[in-house]
Structure 1
Amino acid sequence: MSERERTVLDEKLDRSFGMLDTDGDGRIRERDLVCLAEKLNAAFSGGAPEAVARLERAFTVLWTTDLRPMDADGDEAIDRAEWSMGVRRAVADDRAGFLRRMGTVLQAWLALCDRDADGRIDRRAFTTMYGRTLGVPDAALTEAFTTLDIDGDGYVGHDEVRAAAEEYCTSESRDTPGNWLLGPL
């Protein structure tokens, strides 16, 4: 029996797993998500406790509803295989609900980055939000930002980031702009 060929979605899920596993122990736990909220707030100089609490609440709902059920062996953590199978299953079983909850997380995430609340972020905020929280190199994020800034105005809107995140989590196509969310594959 041969192993199936890795797809572009496999690559993206593998990359995102490594970024969400903030303590590097090979497992995603709820505390990894809380850590991301704290790191994001610190990356933008802190001072936004209400926004952090909102993001933590969104992560808790996502964890309880979508991520905890991915834990096939009951160890209160998600390993790489559980993540890959779990995201695919969550999208297949309740695509609209999963993407709505992911959208809520992204909305809260972006609220921490978009301090002037104009519904968009510039290149600096984009590289800060993913570089200082997820460890994505600045050069990769600069390239990603340029790709996602479709109209070339120097900003990406919240809706563009949400659409890119949806494509990142669901698309098997190598040609979707969302593949660039966290830099080139």
Structure 2
Amino acid sequence: MMSERYIAARGAAPDSETARRLNDGMDGFWTNVIAPMDQDGDGKVDLREMIAGFRRVLTDPALYPQQIAPITNLFFDLTDLDGDDKIDQGEFQLIYDAVADVPGEDCAEVFATLDLDGSGALDRAEFHKAVAEFFYGNDPHAPANHLFGKIAD
């Protein structure tokens, strides 16, 4: 469903190159991250297996390069609508509103906190830092905690 929302937000056809890349990336994420969570070998990942698997994956930052970084790069590329290797606030808001249903004013505030150098755009390094901090950080006040919307106080 997330893939379908990204494809729709980009205005891409289901058989487009964008859709193919996203579907291939999500298939890779399934193959490399989710499918190995199937501990009982039944070909399904139930809630218990998924929780245990994500606890394992998301508590070891050393796994980021092989398991999380590829999908982060894919989402960066899909959010970078004009292909300039930066995500500006408009691109961020369009995609995050469509995919994560983050309200506009929250999106602007989240974007500003993630734009660490104040350039008005997120570069790939800032985006990776935010995703890594979101999954592996332990600072409850870190800007990346709001990557998918503000957390209510």
TM norm structure 1: 0.68
Shift of 1:165: 0.7
Q: Which of 125, 129, 132 lines up with 1:159 in the alignment?
A: 125
2:16 matched residue in structure 1: 49
Q: 2-side partners of 1:71 and 1:109: how far apart?
A: 25
Determine if the alignment matches structure 1 residue 128 to structure 2 residue 94: yes
Residues 72 and 172 (structure 1), Cα distance of their counterparts in 2 relative to 1, 3 Å cut: farther
Give the letter for the 1:36 counterpart: M
SS in 2 for 1:115: coil
Q: 2-side partners of 1:45 and 1:173: how far apart?
A: 37
Q: Which of 109, 115, 121 lines up with 1:143 in the alignment?
A: 109
Instruction: Please list every run of 5 or more consecutive structure 2 residues that lacks an aligned counterpart in the other structure.
Output: none
Shift of 1:172: 2.1
Deviations 1:77-103 (A, max 9, x none): 443x5444322212446x434443322
CA RMSD of aligned residues (A): 2.4
Q: 2-side partners of 1:75 and 1:137: how far apart?
A: 37
Shift of 1:72: 5.0
Aligned residue runs from structure 1 range 58-69, under 5 A: 58-69=25-36
Residues 87 and 169, structure 1, Cα contact 8 Å, conserved in 2: no
Residues 100 and 148, structure 2, Cα contact 8 Å, conserved in 1: no
SS in 1 for 2:139: coil
Q: 2-side partners of 1:126 and 1:83: how far apart?
A: 28
Deviations 1:98-118 (A, max 9, x none): 443322112122222213221
Q: 1-side partners of 2:96 and 2:143: how far apart?
A: 17
2:145 matched residue in structure 1: 179
Residues 97 and 104, structure 2, Cα contact 8 Å, conserved in 1: yes
Shift of 1:75: 6.8
Residues 96 and 152 (structure 1), Cα distance of their counterparts in 2 relative to 1, 3 Å cut: same
Instruction: Please list every run of 5 or more consecutive structure 1 residues that lacks an aligned counterpart in the other structure.
Output: 1-34
Q: 2-side partners of 1:129 and 1:41: how far apart?
A: 10
Q: 1-side partners of 2:136 and 2:20: how far apart?
A: 28
Residues 113 and 125, structure 1, Cα contact 8 Å, conserved in 2: yes
Give the letter for the 1:50 counterpart: E
Residues 165 and 178, structure 1, Cα contact 8 Å, conserved in 2: yes
Shift of 1:151: 2.4
Shift of 1:176: 2.5
Shift of 1:162: 1.5
Give the letter for the 1:76 counterpart: K
Residues 148 and 61 (structure 1), Cα distance of their counterparts in 2 relative to 1, 3 Å cut: same
Deviations 1:20-73 (A, max 9, x none): xxxxxxxxxxxxxxx322221211221582232222222112112211233456
Q: More relative contact order in 1 or in 2 (CA 8 Å, sep 6+)?
A: 1
Determine if the alignment matches structure 1 residue 118 to structure 2 residue 84: yes
